[in-house]
Structure 1
Amino acid sequence: MGRAFQNRKESMAKTAGQKTKVYSKYGKAIYATAKSGGSDPDGNLALRSLIEKAKKDQVPSHVIEKAIDKASGAGGEDYSEARYEGFGPGNCMVIIDCLTDNGNRTIKDVRQCFTKTHSKIGSTGTVSHMFDHQAVFAFKGEDDEVVLENLMMADIDVTDVELEDGVITVYAPHTEFYKIKTAFAETMPEFTLEVEEISWVPQTYVDITEEEDIANFQKFMAMLEDCDDVQQVYHNADLPNDA
């Protein structure tokens, strides 16, 4: 793919208010995952992975435990997944994943983000065919050939392994996610995984250079971050380093 993996999703929270939003989104995702697949992380691999990711993002244990306890009870909210696609500022491509208990509210909120930044929401499949749904792992290291060899020895279908600026990035079909996690734990425990997720990885990138497009893109991402139902945002925009 010619470049190290870039985390093309909503930016990590910096203020207390933003952290509260992140905790809320994780709580909702953990609740929904536990509700649908069981509240025992040992028997629900998706839940286990989500909990590990939440801990890496410094989500407090009580937030995680509360969401699991809530999912273990009877009744409760009924969340469903919703995905929206379209073209953002500068004609970049965008995929937005949501968890919602009110689809009409969610589409209205997401559509407003597009409309107010001169962007265009599309139908299902509008841009997702230009992304690869992949397992992505990134960690500090220098010998990508050894990593590739170990993964191949574990009979894992690897799409690509890249080394850039002392960071090794592994790309593989999303179905290989748990096999790769196991391979790292068993054969490469010396590596600390800094990124381990299933992501939409763009096949091509769009340079955003016009000041108006940059401003609208930043506004677009901020508005999406403020939407309670939005869980993840993926895009193929490349902005200047000082933007």
Structure 2
Amino acid sequence: MGRHFEVRQASMQKTAAAKSKIYSRYGKELYLVAKAGIPDPEMNPALKRKIAEAKSNQVPAHVIDNAIKKAIGGTGEDYKEARYEGFGPADSTLIIDCLTDNANRTIADIRAAFNKAHAKLASSGAVLFMYDQLGIFVFQFDNGDILLEKMMEKDVDVIDIEKDGEYIELSVDPNHFHNAREVLDELLGEEIEYLMNEVRWVPQTESTLNEEDKATFEKLLSL
């Protein structure tokens, strides 16, 4: 049992560390969104959207509640949004959106990570123009025509609907993300489980990396 137990324990620790990173990230993002507007999701669409996104990523209720309470009380760190762009191995590119309470420390950490992976930081805009920002939902559903009809009724700008087996991937204008989520809640119920439910940068073209470049790219993402 010894070796099996050690492997299982290491796996559990790795999973716990990954969850901790996700919880920390959403705690900061929720705090920032709540602080920037009204800390009530019913009156702050951006906060409502972020809460829904956090829940879809299994962020516990107490993490969400604590972040909003911090914003209401005016306590906590003064986080600001920052974006960095860079080039990885082969033709790969990266966009890094983050929150920071110390811009100098953050850029130093990112530069160090890029150097370790032999990657290169880019100037602002050098990578961004190669991406589109989209609101993306992935969920179980079997009728794209009905989905499109319901979205059009609410004036949601649908970019694309793709069906893959029993799942549908819905891409919408990021400014219509909240409205699209409301349509889905009405159509499928608020308890629907999403494989993806977020606004993200999507590359206009994709590159295939060989095994060595893929390992280097994954190393960069892990730093």
**Structure 1 155/39 Cα, relative in aligned 2: closer, same or farther at 3 Å?**
closer
Q: Which residue of 2 aligns with 1:36?
A: 36
| 1:202 equivalent in alignment to 2:203 | yes
Paired with 2:186 and 2:21, the residues of 1 have a C-alpha distance of 35
Q: Is the 8 A contact 2:34 2:47 kept in 1?
A: yes
For 2:187 and 2:56, the matched residues in 1 are separated by 22
In 2: Cα distance, 1:155 partner to 1:50 partner? 21
Residue 73 of structure 1 deviates from its aligned partner by 1.4
> Which residue identity is paired with 1:114?
F
* Structure with larger RCO (C-alpha < 8 A, sep 6+): 1
One-letter amino acid matched to 1:105: R
Equivalent residue pairs, number:
210
Shift of 1:206: 0.6
Q: Distance in 1 between matches of 2:100 and 2:190?
A: 39
SS of the residue aligned with 1:86? strand
- The equivalent residue for 2:90 is 90
TM-score, normalized by length of structure 1?
0.80
Q: Tell me the secondary structure at the aligned position of residue 62 of structure 2.
A: helix
Q: How does 1:48-197 map to 2 (within 5 A)?
A: 48-189=48-189, 192-194=192-194, 195-197=196-198
| Structure 1: distance between partners of 2:107 and 2:91 | 20
Q: Could you tell me whether the CA contact under 8 Å between 2:32 and 2:79 is conserved in 1? A: yes
CA distance in 1, matches of 2:214, 2:182: 40
Misfit runs of 4+, over 3 Å: 187-191
Aligned partners of 1:56 and 1:193: how far apart in 2? Answer: 7
2:132 touches 2:203 (CA, 8 Å); kept in 1? yes
Q: Which moved more, 1:186-195 or 1:104-113?
A: 186-195
More helix by share: 2
Can you give the 5+ residue segments of structure 1 that lack an aligned partner in the other structure?
1-12, 224-243
TM-score of the superposition, structure 2-length normalised?
0.87
> Does the aligned pair in 1 maintain the 2:56–2:197 contact within 8 Å?
no
Deviation at 1:143, TM superposition (A): 2.1
Q: One-letter code of the match for 2:92?
A: C
Q: Check conservation: 1:88, 1:120, Cα contact below 8 A.
A: yes
**Alpha-carbon separation, structure 1, partners of 2:63 and 2:190:** 30
Question: Percent of aligned pairs with the same residue?
Answer: 45
